[in-house]
Chains A and B, each alone.
Chain A
Amino acid sequence: TKNQNPSSSGDQKVIMLPCKSAPSRERVQLWLQAKKQYECLLR
């Protein structure tokens, strides 16, 4: 059940995070510039 003492069963607290990184600001900035140029071409 939920009320079991986790330390007694060896169930340690852990902090997890994704192995992959979020897109960098530079990559996102480049995408934004390309998007704006594309939108200009369409006008």
Chain B
Amino acid sequence: MATLTRQDLNFGQVVADILCEFLEVAIHMILYVREVYPSGIFQKRKKYNVPVQMSCHPDLNRYIQDTLHCIKPLIEKNEAEKVVVVIMDKEHHPVERFVFEISQPPLLSISSDTLLSHVEQLLRAVILKISVCDAVLDNNPPGCTFTVLVHTREAATRNMEKVQVIKDFPWIVADEQEVHMEEPKLIPLKTMTSDILKMQLYVEEKAKKT
């Protein structure tokens, strides 16, 4: 067992790669399970050794990839506190928020044998929880759309700027309407703790969706 700092082996980058790959699958699954898009655009694939539904719509896939590409530098530097998938109604008011609360330990005690398989096992459990979350959530009103929010610090947004320009995918500070939800119900879905990453996933659901 070795103790490494975040600088060793560029660990921030490894964590960001793992997490962004996971978030991509998670976002596709949320959009499928919560019926934000027609089920016909989703195809069954295998990720983390479990069946998942991934979109085959090129623009939607590009949108998700560009979003994660911009968030990645923040995760790399441990500057993304939360990544939130928000489902909004026709009036662009949030009705559900899938909150991924992320924290990375400053010191890493790892053994390379167990590291990846253990993390994969934990991420699989989170994906499985997302796949059945419709059982504990109310139906959404028709015509919903989604966005992704990232909770960070002002100084950290500079890390995003270069990527935003390259990708032609600018980010802005969220306004009250995009963030505020009346009387949200809190539904914990899964907590995972590994050597490289701690993550808590919960849903905030608007009490009255219609």
Contact = CB atoms under 8 A, between A and B. Distances in A.
Interface of B: 36-38, 40-41, 57, 59-60, 63, 66-67, 70, 78, 81, 106, 143-155, 157, 160, 169-174, 178-179
Contacts of B36: 25
Contacts of A29: 38
B148 A17 contact: yes
Given A21-B145, A25-B144, A28-B60, A15 B150 contact: yes
B60 A17 contact: no
A24 B145 contact: yes
A1 B155 CA distance: 13
Given A2-B78, A22-B145, A28-B37, A16 B160 contact: yes
12 contacts: A6-B153, A10-B154, A14-B152, A14-B173, A18-B171, A19-B171, A19-B172, A20-B170, A23-B59, A25-B143, A28-B60, A36-B40
B57 A28 contact: yes
B153 A11 contact: yes
A24 B40 CA distance: 15
Nearest to B71: A16
